[in-house]
Chain A
């Protein structure tokens, strides 16, 4: 072998070994990296791969139904049809949207939302164009289907309130979530569901936890585009529980119609069981307005209405109970022994306390009166005089037993506790001692004292039935065996007898509204509560007629009643804001309401008999 060849072979062999070493090193790099990725980091990457492929979606549970006492549906889930646009199925989705808007115009901010969603949502995800299509709209869309490629009609569930606007304040409404609802509340998976509607007011809100149900879960495998390939695991949603109420939707709607001209409240309670048959606040509104996002126009209309339709006045409106509180004072007097059935006070039209005069509503006085007569005529002086002897403490104690000053707890969230003033409270609030003048104001239900129509009705129901009932809207809370009230039955009978005279004795403040439904009579008590103070000057000039005053200065009119008088079953309160006078405005409404209650009972009984035979 020649020298050059020998030399070349030697160099090449040596360098081949060098190259082999380099390749082995490269091989170790590869194997090392494989080991790092697959063994050391394997679990991490396995998790990431799972996260890639699995999508967990929640499915909506159907919300519980709300029934009234007779099984009438007050809130239910109605099938609705909504139009959605699927981008990838449209030839030209912008054109489709334009065509749609030509057929069914939408509000501007809705169009903005749709355009935004069309921009960011994936091509196969449906974008909601319009909820709850009417029949006409559906047929319109079907007729023009060729121009609407990509539009699909989907079936959806929607909250629907079929039983009339009279139930709105009890049932409440649901609406879509806002950012505030989601903030700070991460535990409830329902809040992540698009299209989930939460209870805002009424039973919908207070019974939210029962009604909402548990969302189902769908675990599906998705590909890199986000499209579902197959469903791996599915847990069906659990429907929300139904809620059964004590209210009678016929009565609700009747009372609402009856009082629709006023800012008024009405409550009807079964005095034996605490069932609330009616809880009405007017004016009312249609809860269905809220299930589709309410328009700004409608919202402003409700918000700025002078009669505050959005407020449930029965629960959260606080008023001086006025003369109705005389029932409480009378009872306190009997209990403390200050008042007996025959003890009298001579009313001369005013009572002097120090150098301050307290006037009776009847300028010239009633003359000598017993307790029953004082209630019948609603004499102020009788109670001024008696209250001084009874003392504020006893009156307050009695009022508390009847339910003043604390929340009743009917099953709704927005109840106000009213105010039952005490010595201690006054000291804390005004840094001032309790004075006899305060006692006198208290004795006729004025002054610091205030209460909700619901509290007034509770007190009247307890007096009428003699049972310590706790009014409720929920059937599950009905008390069939409540304990008797902590008062002597005889005293309660005396008070009831006074209330009987108010309505059924000539000269009683509500004689005009006496009723007779198959011999069943009503007893009651009027109240007219001042919204403004009457000055001495005015009193001298003669108190102005209520009709001459601007509406906002007119007195509130209250009438509390129970029926039938021989065996009390129903207690009711009607309160008309700025109604003028208890006997003039509230009492006639009560007459119609109570008559309707009794007629309703009669017809229901008849129906039951017919069914039996």
Chain B
């Protein structure tokens, strides 16, 4: 396509008008996202004992705001995100450093920056920023480059530096997510399988060393995960009660607003990390399967959008964010079902929480943006005709 003459064309729309964008927007994709959020709000209503306060109403408000943000992001110029990918990443990194310096102490972990009106969580920003940065880095990379050792040093560093800061906060869940998302992108780019195997073996061998760096409460979590019955009234209590809540729902559940475990406070953090247990208690296996189906559809859309995209930046961006989302779902569900240690990862779109919701909707906005701009041609080095 030689339509664009200007070499510096990041800011130029190729041929889409605003109307084209609005028409090209994938509304079905958004519908499934909204369905999950509505389910979440319903559960939050039940968790509060049949009241909109304190959770459902706020969540609804955030949902509306986030929906606006999603739309704005979706209609923005994809090239703009590519242009500023490194800037956003750098800003995220600076914020991470800031949080470790002046971070606000909450829940035994430094995760927030108090901006007065809003608690900023730089690790959430990093989830998107890292994917953006890696997408930009790999956009023009050829297969031979990806398979060279030297070429892979910067992206690995780009991953390790924020992960180290997040681990130090300490936030094991988010750190793992970043590692897996970056690993997923590396894999998609064609990094040889044996390199992953080598890395995994290396990590396994150095596990004892990592163990000594873990915080006391993280060690305890891993230990109670391995044997929850050992401490039924301590940390193991959460896992045991979580399983009871989930299991007691049976196939059809106890009915909306009828969950005894949640209403009587037997599960901790029922409105955030353990919200799946409430859904499963009240709607049983059927309810949980419906949720799983919705998640599967959303993830599948991510794959389809990435596959249909013409430019690599969009492909990688959509895939990276989708991997992020899928991992989010998987880690939370396995954690709640006692398949994984309780690492403190919320269930995306369902759990109560403002920052997580906003970040997710920005992600989905970006995926929509990729979807709208799937025909866009972006040159190997960022221009249109340097192939």
Chain A interface residues (CB < 8 Å from chain B): 2, 4-5, 7-8, 11-13, 15-16, 18-20, 23, 26-27, 29-31, 33-35, 37-39, 41-46, 48-50, 52-53, 221-225, 229
B351 contacts the other chain (CB 8 A): no
- A42 contacts which chain B residues (CB < 8 A)? 247-251
A19 and B323 CA atoms in complex are apart in Å by: 9
* B280: contacting residue among A7, A12, A34, A229, CB under 8 A: A34
Q: For the complex, would chain B's binding face be called helix, strand, loop or mixed by DSSP majority?
A: helix
The 8 A-B pairs with the shortest beta carbon distances in the complex, nearest first, are A45-B247, A49-B248, A42-B250, A223-B264, A224-B265, A4-B142, A37-B247, A11-B190
B22 contacts the other chain (CB 8 A): no
A20 touching B303 by the CB < 8 A rule?
yes
- B321 contacts which chain A residues (CB < 8 A)? none
B319 contacts the other chain (CB 8 A): yes
B265 touching A4 by the CB < 8 A rule?
no
A416 and B307 CA atoms in complex are apart in Å by: 100
Measured CB to CB, the closest approach of chain B to A232, in angstroms, equals 11
Measured CB to CB, the closest approach of chain B to A37, in angstroms, equals 4
A19 touching B187 by the CB < 8 A rule?
yes
What are 24 residue pairs bridging A and B, where the CB atoms are less than 8 Å apart in the complex?
Answer: A7-B143, A8-B312, A11-B189, A15-B188, A16-B303, A16-B306, A20-B303, A23-B299, A23-B326, A26-B326, A30-B292, A31-B292, A34-B285, A34-B337, A35-B285, A37-B243, A38-B280, A38-B284, A39-B251, A42-B251, A43-B250, A46-B250, A221-B260, A224-B264
A8 and B319 CA atoms in complex are apart in Å by: 15
B264 touching A16 by the CB < 8 A rule?
no
A41 and B245 CA atoms in complex are apart in Å by: 12
* B337: contacting residue among A11, A30, A229, CB under 8 A: A30
- B296 contacts which chain A residues (CB < 8 A)? 27
B288 contacts the other chain (CB 8 A): yes
A52 and B265 CA atoms in complex are apart in Å by: 11
Please judge, given known A-B contacts A34-B285, A52-B260, whether A12 and B190 are in contact too, CB under 8 Å. yes
A39 and B285 CA atoms in complex are apart in Å by: 8
Please judge, given known A-B contacts A30-B292, A42-B249, whether A221 and B264 are in contact too, CB under 8 Å. yes
B289 contacts the other chain (CB 8 A): yes
- B48 contacts which chain A residues (CB < 8 A)? none
Chain B interface residues (CB < 8 Å from chain A): 141-143, 184, 187-190, 241, 243-251, 260-261, 264-266, 280-281, 284-285, 288-289, 292, 296, 299, 303, 306-307, 312, 315, 319, 323, 326, 330, 333-334, 337, 339, 387
A48 and B190 CA atoms in complex are apart in Å by: 49
Extra A-B contacts (14), CB below 8 Å, given A8-B312, A49-B281: A11-B189, A16-B319, A29-B339, A30-B334, A31-B292, A37-B246, A39-B250, A41-B247, A49-B245, A49-B266, A50-B260, A52-B266, A224-B264, A224-B265
- B184 contacts which chain A residues (CB < 8 A)? 19
- A225 contacts which chain B residues (CB < 8 A)? 265
- A15 contacts which chain B residues (CB < 8 A)? 187-188, 190
Query: Most chain-B Cβ atoms within 10 A of its Cβ — which of A8, A16, A42?
Result: A8
Residue of A nearest to B144 (CB): A4
B333 touching A8 by the CB < 8 A rule?
no
- A13 contacts which chain B residues (CB < 8 A)? 307
Residue of B nearest to A5 (CB): B387
A43 and B251 CA atoms in complex are apart in Å by: 10
- B244 contacts which chain A residues (CB < 8 A)? 45, 48-49, 52
- A35 contacts which chain B residues (CB < 8 A)? 285
Residue of A nearest to B142 (CB): A4
A229 and B263 CA atoms in complex are apart in Å by: 10
A52 touching B142 by the CB < 8 A rule?
no
- B249 contacts which chain A residues (CB < 8 A)? 38, 42
- B245 contacts which chain A residues (CB < 8 A)? 45, 49
A222 and B264 CA atoms in complex are apart in Å by: 7
A13 and B333 CA atoms in complex are apart in Å by: 28
Measured CB to CB, the closest approach of chain B to A128, in angstroms, equals 27
- A53 contacts which chain B residues (CB < 8 A)? 260-261, 264, 266
Measured CB to CB, the closest approach of chain A to B218, in angstroms, equals 23
* B289: contacting residue among A31, A48, A223, CB under 8 A: A31
- B246 contacts which chain A residues (CB < 8 A)? 34, 37-38, 45
- A45 contacts which chain B residues (CB < 8 A)? 243-248
A16 and B315 CA atoms in complex are apart in Å by: 11
Measured CB to CB, the closest approach of chain A to B148, in angstroms, equals 14
A52 and B281 CA atoms in complex are apart in Å by: 14
Please judge, given known A-B contacts A4-B143, A7-B142, whether A49 and B330 are in contact too, CB under 8 Å. no
- A4 contacts which chain B residues (CB < 8 A)? 142-143
Query: Most chain-B Cβ atoms within 10 A of its Cβ — which of A7, A43, A45, A223?
Result: A45
A37 touching B337 by the CB < 8 A rule?
yes
- B299 contacts which chain A residues (CB < 8 A)? 23
